[in-house]
Every structure is written in structure tokens, then in C-alpha cells.
């Protein structure tokens, strides 16, 4: 299958990539799918024309990188391999159990890169992101170490995740930033405040994670009370039952727009993102082969100016109930928020 192509720095990639996180992490008891099923999905994505694969040291505390590296190693020259560090599983306390730790010190960045290279079974990572800016460490220090690793040939290009335009400018002054990865969808439009424009100004791509809003924009998620105990959405205010119910009212007119456009609701969400700019590349994740095929179908959906205007009007940030993250996780990110919105969109 041939997918439309977009540019991320020196790389030509499929216009829709694959976020690999939920093959190992996040939306259910780990692992959410058997290894054999995860392998099949990765190879199906490859056969379908996906060339951009995104993982991180954090996902499954390394298990996702190990999976992606093992399955895709024979096809290494066909893909653009992306990973993230500066937030990983590290032994904490007497028991040494792994816990999520944000650490942007240069020595931690180097440790994370070396560990990722080993798990991925590669000599170089194509695009490497700072997963979170560790605010106790100047961004210049973290990016400076990434640039040294790049000079050593261990990284081909550098990125940042969940940062503001101001932080992006500071980082880009140290070393060229090829991409910013943050949440972006009709449901989460914070990137439109400043980062999208700054990416365009410096020539960086914007890689959109959670482009179907963690299943909200598929129209299939109705009962959030049934989440697995380890589902990360349980800690997200937008998915609290009462708040989510308030957001569900938007889905009826949204479904009508999808019908008008002749596509599924998930495809509508992805097609809207693709229409926002050539420097935007969504990376939906899934464990379901049918959903993978459905997502890729969005690449052929052409939305009229009238449909785009309807979607823009329907999903104005001030009508979204609940912030993206709880207070602790919100303090860990650096993205702009809409001022004066009643619901923390």
C-alpha cells in the first residue's frame, strides 16, 4: 500500500505514523496484547505503508522498545525509528522497583539513549525526543547533551515533547530541533496557541499524539466507568464520568459531520489534522488490526472548507470540559493553555 508522504527534517515518512505505546502500556493491564498479536500489528502497519514508528523508554519500562526493535530490525532501512528519553523507568527505593522518573540531566540523557539503542537493536535512532522537559534542569543542558550524542552518530535528529514555543526557541538556539511531539486533536487544540506557528517558523514538524483523543473522537467510547484499573485515562479529568458525559454531547453533531464527509469518526479526526498543515504528522496508536486499517483510510479523505469550518466551530476550546491532565501531570508539562477557558481545555 502507498500512503501520502510528509517531511520530518531529513526524513520522508508516511503522512500517518504509528504510535506504539499502547502495544505495551497505558490503556489496560500490561501487556494489553500478546507478543504475537503485537508483532502482527507492527508488520501489518509496515505492509500497509507506514514508515514512521514511535516508541519511548517509558513505554512498558523498555518493553515497547524491545518489541519494536526486535520486530522491525529486519526492516530497519525502510523505516524512520523514533524514541524518547528523559522520562523512563528507574529503580527507586530499597526494593529497587521501577518507577517513572523525569530526569533531564546530561548524564541521564546519555544513560537513556544508550539503553534505548541496546533495546532497539540499532546503532542510531533516527529521531530522538526529550520526552519531558525536567524543569529543574535548563533545557539548554538537556538538548546540549542530545546534540553531543547526535555528533557521535547515535542520533540523527532531535525533538522535544510537550513544550511551549518559548522553550522550543531556547532549545533550537542550542541545536536544530527537527520535530515537536505533543497532543493535538479537535479535543485538545493547545498547540494552536503558539507551538504550531513556531514549528512552522523554524522548519520543524509537529507530530500529533492522541489524534483521536484517546478514543473519544472514534465515537465508540461511551462507558468510561469500565476502564481497566491500570488505564491511564482513569487519572485524566476529562474522562471522569460526569465530565465525560458533558463532553459526549458534542459527538452527535460530530457523527453527523462524519456522515456528511463520507468517512468514519476516527477518519474524520485524522483527516482534520492532516488538513491543518503539511508539517503535521499524526501518530494514532491501536492494538486492533481493523482500527489500523481504518486509521490509514483517513489519508485519502479530503475535507471541504465547509466541513473544516463546521469542525472548527463545534470543537472550540472553551466548550471542552476538563483539563487534559491532573494537577501532578500538568505540572510536568510545558505546553501553553488557553487563558480564560472555563473548563481548562
Whether 26 is covered by a domain: the verdict is yes
Length of the chain: 345
Establish whether the linkage from the previous residue to 31 is cis, with ω within 30° of 0.
Answer: yes
Overall domain count for the chain: 1
Cut 0.85: pTM above it: yes
Whether 299 is covered by a domain: the verdict is yes
139: containing domain: 5-332
Whether 51 is covered by a domain: the verdict is yes
Question: Which CATH number goes with the domain that contains 302?
Answer: 3.20.20.100
Whether 339 is covered by a domain: the verdict is no
Task: Please report the pLDDT score of residue 344 as a whole number.
Answer: 47
Among 306, 294, 212, 221, smallest CA distance to 257 is for: 306
Mind telling me the catalytic residues?
59
Q: Which residues of the chain have pLDDT under 70?
A: 1, 340-345
Whether 180 is covered by a domain: the verdict is yes
Whether 126 is covered by a domain: the verdict is yes
Task: Please report the pLDDT score of residue 340 as a whole number.
Answer: 54
The half-sphere exposure of 135 on its side-chain side, counting CA atoms within 13 A, is 10
Please give the Cα distance from 65 to 61 (Å, whole number).
Answer: 9
Whether 337 is covered by a domain: the verdict is no
Task: Please report the pLDDT score of residue 341 as a whole number.
Answer: 45
Whether 27 is covered by a domain: the verdict is yes
Task: Please report the pLDDT score of residue 188 as a whole number.
Answer: 98
Amino acid at each position: 500500500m502507498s500512503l501520502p508522504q510528509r517531511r520530518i527534517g531529513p526524513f520522508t515518512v508516511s503522512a500517518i505514523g504509528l504510535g506504539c505505546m499502547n502495544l505495551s502500556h497505558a490503556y489496560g493491564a500490561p501487556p494489553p496484547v500478546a507478543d504475537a498479536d503485537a508483532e502482527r500489528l507492527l508488520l501489518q502497519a509496515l505492509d500497509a505503508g507506514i514508515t514512521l514508528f514511535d516508541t519511548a523508554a517509558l513505554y512498558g519500562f523498555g518493553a515497547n522498545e524491545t518489541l519494536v526493535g526486535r520486530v522491525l530490525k529486519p526492516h530497519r532501512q525502510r523505516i524512520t525509528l523514533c524514541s524518547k528519553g528523559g522520562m523512563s523507568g528507574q529503580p527507586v527505593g530499597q526494593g529497587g522497583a521501577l518507577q517513572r522518573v523525569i530526569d533531564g540531566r546530561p548524564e541521564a540523557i546519555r544513560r537513556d539513549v544508550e539503553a534505548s539503542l541496546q533495546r532497539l537493536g540499532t546503532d542510531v535512532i533516527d529521531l530522538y525526543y526529550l520526552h519531558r522537559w525536567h524543569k529543574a534542569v535548563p533545557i539548554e543542558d538537556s538538548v546540549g547533551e542530545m546534540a553531543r550524542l547526535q555528533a557521535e552518530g547515535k542520533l540523527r535528529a532531535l525533538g522535544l515533547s510537550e513544550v511551549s514555543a518559548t522553550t522550543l526557541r531556547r532549545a533550537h538556539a542550542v541545536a536544530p530541533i527537527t520535530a515537536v511531539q505533543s497532543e493535538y486533536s479537535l479535543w485538545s487544540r493547545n498547540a494552536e496557541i503558539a507551538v504550531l506557528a513556531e514549528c512552522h517558523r523554524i522548519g520543524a514538524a509537529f507530530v500529533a499524539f492522541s489524534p483521536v483523543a484517546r478514543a473519544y473522537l472514534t465515537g465508540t467510547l461511551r462507558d468510561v466507568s469500565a476502564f481497566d484499573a491500570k488505564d491511564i485515562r482513569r487519572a485524566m479529568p476529562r474522562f471522569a464520568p460526569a465530565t465525560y458525559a458533558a463532553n459526549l454531547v458534542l459527538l452527535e453533531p460530530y457523527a453527523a459531520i462524519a456522515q456528511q464527509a463520507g468517512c468514519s469518526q476516527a477518519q474524520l479526526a485524522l483527516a482534520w489534522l492532516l488538513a491543518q498543515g503539511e508539517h503535521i504528522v499524526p501518530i494514532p496508536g491501536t492494538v486492533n488490526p481493523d482500527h489500523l486499517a481504518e486509521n490509514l483510510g483517513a489519508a485519502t479523505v479530503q475535507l471541504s472548507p465547509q466541513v473544516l469550518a463546521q469542525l472548527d466551530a463545534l470543537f472550540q476550546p472553551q466548550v471542552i470540559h476538563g483539563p487534559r491532565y491532573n494537577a501532578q501531570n500538568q505540572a510536568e508539562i510545558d505546553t501553553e493553555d488557553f487563558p480564560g477557558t472555563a473548563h481548562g481545555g
